[in-house]
Amino acid sequence: MNQSAEVLAARAKLASKFDAVRTGGKGSQRRTKISKHQSSAADDKQLQAQVKKMGCNAIPGIEEVNMFMESGEVLHFAAPKVQAAVASNTFVISGKGEVKRLEELLPGIISQLGPDNLANLKRIAEGFAANQASSSKVAEDADIPDIGENFEDVSKA
């Protein structure tokens, strides 16, 4: 069986590459690479160290933070930890954030809405009114049964 020079060269290259990681003789297992896992707690510590370097101070007494997105959704943080560096105009909000629709946070969020979100509020109100009208029409139609065929024609036959 004749093998081309390219195949033989590729095999030799692979053999030399993997012989370097072999711990014993032929047939022994290769060394296992030990990977270092970094926990999220370590990430949090590093992040807090950077926040401290920036000179951020904790702001107590904040119950919730809402960030309004262009899509009409709200990034809602319940009981966040808020830190601020006034000199650099930097705010750090840490906690579990949830993306919610504006309708889910009504009516408590109305006082936080700005002029740009009033259009979203009008859209929600129109949708709610249309939904109410269609549901009342369905309720009226539920009382009247639909007759599929003419009873007089059936009785004559």
Query: Is there a domain that residue 30 lies in?
Result: no
Q: Return the bridge partners of 93, or none.
A: 82
29 falls within a domain? no
Domain count across the chain: 1
Decide if 112 is inside a domain.
Answer: yes
In a domain, 132, yes or no: yes
Domain residue limits at 132: 44-140
Predicted pLDDT at 85: 92
- What pLDDT is stored for residue 40 in this prediction? 77
Q: Can you give the pLDDT of all 157 residues of the chain as single tens digits?
A: 567 899 999 988 888 887 766 666 677 777 777 777 777 788 888 888 988 898 999 999 999 898 888 887 888 899 999 999 988 899 999 889 999 887 777 777 776 777 776 777 777 777 777 777 666 555 555 566 666 677 676 666 5
d(CA 130, CA 141): 17
**CATH no. for residue 53?**
2.20.70.30
Residue 62 lies in a domain: yes
Specify the pLDDT at position 113.
72
Q: What is the pTM of this model?
A: 0.49
Q: Is 72 domain-assigned?
A: yes
